[in-house]
Chain A
């Protein structure tokens, strides 16, 4: 390929209505940064919260309008080939994911904003820059400093997440990956209590995230070497053009790109960060990550698997099958011995990622819609579950050890009952969203995945049977055990947190009893544009 001098500047044509949701979220994040700089401290929390929630709601409305503007956009003409290349694909899966992310983001932010009567968010440290245990830390807490930066950071992350399943080329995908990751690294390190653990989690997440990004980039380079383009459409075409004999580049490139994405969903063997980060990060952030990051990353995986590398699926699917099997087994088996609530939910999220991967491997439209349904169903449940974790306290700190949950059913039946219901949803018991979601992915896999799909489903069914034990244990512990000691208390949440937990739980129930509307929606939204 000969080098061509860049053509004269060309205006990219942009359908602004189609990208309006993204613009709103990123714009609000920037406004949030300005608020940090100019608004007095005591009013920041309220203003930031208002901006965040309002912008997300507004973005949701914009998403509804954007459904009328589906198609490829953000295009420019490639000087060398005079072809139009598009950076963004506003289509069913992308908009479905954006809508889900925005709504789950609202719930996540409401829980993050919980103050329990304090000046700033209860979960976040007064000063992230101070050394844990140092006089500066104590002084900043006394001075009433707050870390209201978490709101714009979260908005940036949500923006990146919305971009993640929307992008139409590998470079764009990498940018989205970094945009969503960087704020999360910071958020993970901002816990108010057990700060060393939090900072350790943050650093680990950052190091391993950088490591996986490197793989993603390396894979991108290999694929570029193979196809001469990073656009998904070109990749797909290059693969179907059989004259290319560079299979080595394709196989390795495709898998390495997947590594970068599988890392984000916490698939085995790229999962090692998950339990540590989930445990160390402030609990509201953990809930947000578990719901939104996972959803966004699965959106990206879908686009990569069904648009960019669809024609090469036989090259990489074995690798993803191995990963899916490992993920289900390791997630399920390791969750059995967990003694910390947050780690337990972390391993459970790993197992769930495995189940979703089974749906991805169905390779047809039904696979897409089942994955879309699954991540939404799981997202709302997990946000509510982590929201509940923030309420159970001992000596001011969160009581995350399972022994501290013993007997909670007797002292706080509503909290324990809600948690038990969510546990049943994670276990996939009928009349919860978890059951319908699992049924959808497994049915899709067995329907079109052939023998491999069947094997995956059998493994999946065995693994979900194992995880039932884990969840049942928590329920037994809450309802049938005597409390370990009496100092465990349950805080009374504010309206926002109550709302978030209640909505998450209600949706978990509603999607189990009347799942049709969302299944329909996911079904209608399962067509990618190319």
Chain B
């Protein structure tokens, strides 16, 4: 009971003892769970050794990083099995680390919250993360900076684990910044290419806008509840009256802003496509399976706040719906295999976001889809990497075609991922995505129709563009350039792909129809009341399969049966718009960037070399102002004195007016 907390705290002497989650109590960790800090510490140690050790670790550094990542997975697995051994009410546990801030005015206990939700993430992150470590052993084998790459990769895993294990928003924020930093470092890993450095910066700026949201949300929480740990905030929200709904909405919207930045949701989506500049394993791990889903995690973790504010919830759903269609449309027109996959990621996270905004009925499926997506999308990214590996790093699908014959394993594993994302039974996506579509059709009034139809149409478009991608790459005529000799990748690369393919095929079947995932998450997210969709479930299922088949068939007609032109045809207006990401950059530019860009370009030497002037619209806008204001700073003491005097007179004048 939240009210019994203070006395419990003082008597128990430890803060952790009394932590309570929304529904069940979180107890101080017992058994191996108290070593949960190892999850974060192991990969972090890897980073430290590799970065500090320098060149000396070149030989074995990559292997060590991979081993530490697997070790973290094992720790997670042991904790998971221990958790299984307890009954549902006692599964959530906390691990007290230390008292971070204990100033008289505010207190933050740094601790880990090991519950069903965070464990689901821990297993996904460490398992997929470790597989991608293995894959990178092959993919990055000849890169001179391999050691640095693995150090960053380990750092990412540590930060991501911290993000999902944190027991307060503040500690979550640390992980949040950590993954942002890792993402920035890894997108720009090949920063000798200025375009890549620019892409890294673009991601950085979009994320800063999101981080701003998170920090403001924290300030408001702190103001309202006196603390920013999950327990206090959740208990505080439960105790609030309706009059404070405005604040809940404010917190909710700010958290959503944070989620949009990290998860590339509308309107902060523009960075994800460019982020594909990073090495492909990075795209698979960070920009498909894990980091970009942190926004969904944040929303689900803060579900108490969102439930207290229907407005914020509605906005979440709207953002999800817009993004899922946006991403899907963009995905139809991309010829770059990685950018097409990135658009698809954006769209699939839109699905998750939509589900997370639907309330208790959607949380479990949001997380479920997140897990299955983590497998099939990572698998497909690795497949794309394998294709690029065999095709001299080409990414233009118009120069692929007919690869099924020469890259059999890649073809099959990619095919399973393709079936999974389409939602063909019994593959993973069928169990998770169809449930989201179903949930979107639940409700009254206009909402189920709008959101449900958006999700349904999205499924059709998804089927089209994913089939397009699959057919253009693996089927049809061979349109290779003369100098490529495609070949299957080494086993360090194919084995992870196979493992992920198995997951893509079976994970849904294991967790979905058995109800395992919903009952597992229920203590965290609350039980969903039974609701009937506005259309009968079998009808919906049939409809979904129908649009999926239609989408795939259309793609078959155009990209397998018909000849694919080597250069993109002009296309209609929508295609042109989609190729340019629905003019997202142009919109950003016109609104934010144009005013300042020319001025900044010429002003700073660093522009061309370091941060490109075009890196962020906002930055350039600020730069433009900055340049203008700089002219006031002319070096004459008399003008400075005049500035002071004018300032004093103006402020005194303002005071007279105000009073």
Contact = CB atoms under 8 A, between A and B. Distances in A.
Interface stretch (A29-37, A287-295, A303-311, A519-527): A519-527
A334 B628 CA distance: 9
Interface string B86-113: 0000000000001111111110000000
A289 B205 CA distance: 32
A458 B102 CA distance: 25
Contact of B212 (A269, A315, A461): A461
A465 B103 contact: no
Interface in A405-419: 406
B637 A523 contact: no
Contacts of A268: 647
B219 A337 contact: no
A252 B623 contact: no
A335 B637 CA distance: 20
Interface centre among B106, B201, B610, B623 (most CB of A within 10 A): B610
B209 A465 contact: yes
A406 B610 contact: yes
B629 A519 contact: no
A520 B648 CA distance: 37
A270 B644 contact: yes
B211 to A, nearest CB: 7
A208 B644 contact: yes
B644 A212 contact: yes
A350 B623 CA distance: 17
Contacts of B626: 333-337
A403 B219 contact: no
B154 to A, nearest CB: 17
A523 B659 CA distance: 34
Contact of A269 (B103, B611, B637, B647): B647
A276 interface: yes
A444 B105 contact: yes
B406 interface: no
B625 interface: yes
Q: Looking at A268, A270, A481, which has the most chain B CB atoms within 10 Å of its CB?
A: A481
A484 B102 CA distance: 46
B223 interface: yes
Interface in A173-217: 203-204, 207-208, 211-212, 215
A482 B603 contact: no
Contact of A256 (B103, B211, B606, B648): B648
A58 to B, nearest CB: 29
Contacts of B222: 443, 446-447
Contacts of B209: 465
A11 to B, nearest CB: 40
Nearest to B627: A337
Interface stretch (A378-386, A428-436, A485-493): A428-436
A443 B546 CA distance: 54
A476 B103 contact: no
Interface string B486-498: 0000000000000
A429 B654 CA distance: 36
B174 A337 contact: no
Interface residues of A, number: 80
Nearest to B650: A269
A255 interface: yes
B324 interface: no
A54 interface: no
Nearest to B657: A318
Given A322-B651, A457-B216, A337 B605 contact: no
B219 A465 contact: no
Interface string B589-623: 00000000000100111100111000010110011
Contacts of A430: 170, 173-174, 177
A462 B212 contact: yes
B644 A443 contact: no
B654 A476 contact: no
B261 to A, nearest CB: 11
B519 interface: no
Interface in B196-222: 197, 201, 204-205, 208-209, 211-212, 215-216, 218-220, 222
A212 to B, nearest CB: 7
Prevailing SS type, chain A contact patch: helix
B641 interface: yes
B238 interface: no
A520 B658 CA distance: 38
B175 to A, nearest CB: 9
B635 interface: yes
Q: Which of B99, B105, B106, B643 has the most CB of A within 10 A?
A: B105
A320 B572 CA distance: 57
Contact of B654 (A270, A318, A365, A454): A318
B211 A465 contact: yes
A431 B197 contact: no
Given A519-B101, A519-B102, A523-B104, A269 B609 contact: no
A484 B606 CA distance: 10
Interface in A57-109: none
Nearest to B654: A322
Contact of A442 (B191, B219, B641): B219
Given A204-B640, A319-B655, A481-B609, A469 B619 contact: yes
A272 B103 contact: no
A337 B603 contact: yes
A152 interface: no
B101 A208 contact: no
B334 to A, nearest CB: 28
Contact of A465 (B106, B177, B208, B627): B208
B639 to A, nearest CB: 8
Contact of A275 (B625, B633, B641): B633
B537 interface: no
B174 A211 contact: no
A412 to B, nearest CB: 14
B630 interface: yes
B619 A336 contact: yes
Interface string A275-300: 11000000000000000000000000
Nearest to A255: B652
A203 B222 CA distance: 46
Given A275-B633, A334-B629, A477 B606 contact: yes
A259 B623 contact: no
Contact of B197 (A465, A466, A468, A476): A476
Contact of A516 (B101, B173, B191, B648): B101
B229 to A, nearest CB: 14
Nearest to B616: A469
Interface of B: 98-106, 170, 173-174, 177, 188, 191, 197, 201, 204-205, 208-209, 211-212, 215-216, 218-220, 222-223, 600, 603-606, 609-611, 616, 618-619, 622-623, 625-627, 629-630, 632-633, 635, 637, 639-641, 643-644, 646-648, 651-652, 654-655, 658-659
In the complex, the 10 A-B pairs of residues with the closest C-beta atoms, listed nearest first: A519-B103, A269-B647, A272-B640, A523-B104, A516-B102, A477-B610, A337-B626, A430-B174, A366-B105, A336-B626
Given A322-B651, A446-B222, A466-B618, 19 more contacts: A207-B641, A269-B647, A332-B622, A337-B630, A339-B603, A440-B103, A440-B105, A443-B105, A444-B105, A446-B220, A465-B211, A466-B619, A472-B201, A476-B197, A476-B606, A477-B606, A480-B191, A484-B605, A516-B99
27 contacts: A203-B637, A208-B637, A270-B644, A272-B632, A315-B659, A322-B651, A333-B622, A333-B626, A334-B633, A336-B626, A373-B103, A406-B609, A429-B177, A439-B218, A440-B103, A443-B222, A446-B220, A468-B208, A469-B622, A473-B611, A476-B610, A477-B611, A480-B197, A516-B100, A516-B101, A520-B104, A523-B103
Interface of A: 203-204, 207-208, 211-212, 215, 247, 251-252, 255-256, 259, 263, 268-270, 272-273, 275-276, 315, 318-319, 322-323, 330, 332-337, 339, 365-366, 369-370, 373, 401-403, 406, 429-431, 436, 439-440, 442-444, 446-447, 454, 457-458, 461-462, 465-466, 468-469, 472-473, 476-477, 480-482, 484, 513-516, 519-520, 522-524
